[in-house]
Amino acid sequence: MKTTTTGSALDRLSDRVAGLDVARVEVVSFDLDGTLIDSRTAWRHGFAAPFAQLAARYPALLALGDSAYVHDHVFQPFLTTIWERAGGEWSPNYVRDGWRMLLQHHAAPDGTTPDWAAADAAHEEYEATWPAMMRLFEDSLTVLDAVQARYPMILITNGNTAHQRMKIESHDLARWFRHVVVSEEVGLLKPDPAIFALALAPLGARAESALHIGDMRAQDVAGARAAGWQSAWVNRAGAPAVDEHQPDVEIAALEELLDLLELR
């Protein structure tokens, strides 16, 4: 390990650094959802009211737990299943189908047809609510300021254009980055190394000089490594590593980058 960070910061981080070479870093890349923006909290809050309305009509839903639990442990896994079955780019229709699956699997008695209109109404309210609840993580701007002072930055995000551009514009994030790449716009998805190469090309930098920071091991870490970049895994929840995708460094908050990159 070639980082020269010293003192208590190194003591905190040393057990999570596999091999970050700070001397190589010339370009820094960020993921969006779960890295700069606290999307999951917004989605969870947006889920609460429509779920309560469905549960008033279908009390069996209450047996699953409170809305936050149902969102994280029932609804989101449905969305993941739908997306994995479909493959390719994310579609907002998957969220509608997730609401329908929630009724089909947990509310409608066996052999009956769920009220799809009720599920669709919940979906419409959810989609109208969560965007206004999107917030940056509290350390995002501090870190963007500090990193921008030393490195050119790029943003690489998976998602449909309308949603991702809305998030970027509502927080005026484009001003921080030399290049913004949204997967639907370019027809490539992380972890495809081609999207990383595409993002880096306008800067004329070498792959080995790039560091990508993101919260999804299977997308951010795997894709960056496949592209020949270094990677930092943002693990705010302290989740165990359950796959083969090994980051060069694991951080519990973006603010730790300030010590790792010697920016303060």
Which CATH number does the domain housing residue 187 bear?
3.40.50.1000
Instruction: Report strand pairing: 27-30 vs 153-157.
Output: parallel
Q: At what angle do helices 76-86 and 93-106 cross, to 10 degrees?
A: 120
The answer on 47 and 14 residing in a single domain is no
Structure tokens at 45: 């809050």
Structure confidence at residue 253 (pLDDT): 96
What is the chain's alpha carbon radius of gyration, rounded to the nearest angstrom?
20
The answer on 21 and 64 residing in a single domain is no
Q: Is residue 3 part of a domain?
A: no
Domain limit, last residue, from 94, 111, 133:
133
The answer on 239 and 178 residing in a single domain is yes
Structure confidence at residue 214 (pLDDT): 98
Q: Is residue 215 part of a domain?
A: yes
* CA pair distance 12, 84, nearest whole angstrom: 36
Domain limit, last residue, from 133, 167, 194:
133
The answer on 157 and 196 residing in a single domain is yes
The answer on 201 and 84 residing in a single domain is no
The answer on 140 and 157 residing in a single domain is yes
The answer on 61 and 31 residing in a single domain is no
The answer on 188 and 112 residing in a single domain is no
Q: What is the pLDDT along the chain (264 residues), one digit of tens a residue?
A: 333 444 444 454 555 555 899 999 999 999 999 999 999 999 999 999 999 999 999 999 999 999 999 999 999 999 999 988 887 777 888 999 999 999 999 987 677 888 999 999 999 999 999 999 999 999 999 999 999 999 999 999 999 999 999 999 999 999 999 999 999 999 999 999 999 999 999 999 999 999 999 999 999 999 999 999 999 999 998 888 777 888 999 999 999 999 999 998
Q: Is residue 129 part of a domain?
A: yes
Structure tokens at 149: 């002072």
Using DSSP's 3-state secondary structure scheme, residue 12 falls into helix
The answer on 161 and 236 residing in a single domain is yes
Per the rule left: phi > 0, alpha: psi between -120 and 50, beta: everything else, 27 is: beta
Q: Number of H helices and number of E strands within the chain? A: 12, 6
Structure confidence at residue 18 (pLDDT): 55
Cα separations (Å) of 207 from 29, 142, 170, 199, 224? 12, 26, 31, 11, 9
Cα separations (Å) of 242 from 78, 121, 179, 193? 20, 37, 32, 22
Q: Is residue 77 part of a domain?
A: yes
The answer to whether residues 38 and 136 touch, using CB atoms and an 8 Å cutoff, is yes
The answer on 194 and 73 residing in a single domain is no
The answer on 98 and 114 residing in a single domain is yes
Q: Is residue 59 part of a domain?
A: yes
Give CA angle at 142 (139, 146), nearest 5°: 135
Q: H or E stretch including 211?
A: strand 210-214
Boundaries of domain holding 240: 8-38+135-260
The domain total for the chain is 2
The answer on 233 and 146 residing in a single domain is yes
Give CA angle at 241 (236, 244), nearest 5°: 135
Domain limit, last residue, from 105, 133, 161:
133
As beta bridge partners, residue 181 has 156
Using DSSP's 3-state secondary structure scheme, residue 264 falls into coil
Q: Is residue 155 part of a domain?
A: yes
